[in-house]
Amino acid sequence: MSEIGKELRLKRIFRDDGRTLIVPMEAGPLDSWVQCARDVIAGGADAIMTTYGLLRKYHNEIAGKIPLVFSSSPTDGIEYVHQAVKLGGDALKISWWLPLRDMPVKYISELAFECKEWGIPFIFEPMPMSAPGYYAPGYSSFSGLSEGEKTPVQIYEPVIIRKVVELGTIVGADAVKATYTGATETFKKVVKDIPIPVIIAGGPQLPTDRQTLEEIKGAMNAGAAGGAIGRNLTQNKNRLGMTKAIVKIIHEDASVDEALKELE
């Protein structure tokens, strides 16, 4: 019976086209959180990603209006799976922001199994970092660091992103939230033959709306199943228009120029 519950919840998040726009709203500013939620709901987003504390405060504003993905980390414990179900969650997202070699694969597998037992989809967000004391050449364009700095940074190398996406499949995730590699051709290699949906993370704040939409379009052209787009949407001066623009690209296969008309 838990499989039925999981399937029903997945269908709330992913439309019939197999795609989704999830909007991470795990943080403030709290003074505009409610209005931001209203904007993304009106714009046609498929789910909001939030936390236990924020849902406690704002549940009356969003109850029954949009599916909810609860955000967590491995340190929150397996009991967080139970809380997500009890609070009406439609999925649980677990993040990992450390070197790949340190990932607790066995524990993440246990979380995936617990989600299965409780009938809630498990979205895995592995964001591999370089090891402490090691700077991976070629990442400076993403991190803002100069060559030679020995500081852990997020890894965008397609081979590594492919490994963590494969790992998400192996441990039992129902979907994986992955770093976009920056180009359609390289991201095709990440998602090729992966049997579960791969959605892109929104990434750092980009200078223009066009750049944000171009990244999403590039990922969709590569075979992504959508995106979890946070700050590039929630911090936009026209959140409603940006939500509509992203929805047009994800669900209507619109071009970037067509989507930009939603922001005029």
For residue 49, give the H/E element and its range. Answer: strand 47-50
CATH number of the structural domain spanning residue 6? 3.20.20.70
* Number of structural domains in the chain: 1
Q: Is residue 141 part of a domain?
A: no
**For 115-171, how does the pLDDT look when each residue is reduced to its tens digit (9 = 90+)?**
999 999 999 998 887 765 433 333 333 334 444 445 667 778 899 899 999 999 999
Residue of 252 and 28 predicted with greater confidence: 252
Q: Is residue 63 part of a domain?
A: yes
- Predicted confidence (pLDDT) at residue 199 exceeds the cutoff of 70: yes
**Residue % of the chain over a pLDDT of 70:** 88
| Short-list 6, 139, 141, CA closest to 85 | 6
Sign for the CA dihedral angle at 69, 72, 74, 77 comes to negative
**Residue 83 to residue 230: CA distance in whole angstroms:** 24
Mean predicted confidence (pLDDT) in 207-222? 98
Q: Is residue 124 part of a domain?
A: yes
Q: Is residue 23 part of a domain?
A: yes
Q: Is residue 33 part of a domain?
A: yes
This prediction's pTM: 0.89
Tell me the average pLDDT of the chain.
Answer: 88
Q: Is residue 110 part of a domain?
A: yes
For residue 225, give the H/E element and its range. Answer: none
pLDDT of residue 53: 86
Which residue range is the domain that position 168 belongs to? Answer: 2-132+164-257
Q: Is residue 42 part of a domain?
A: yes
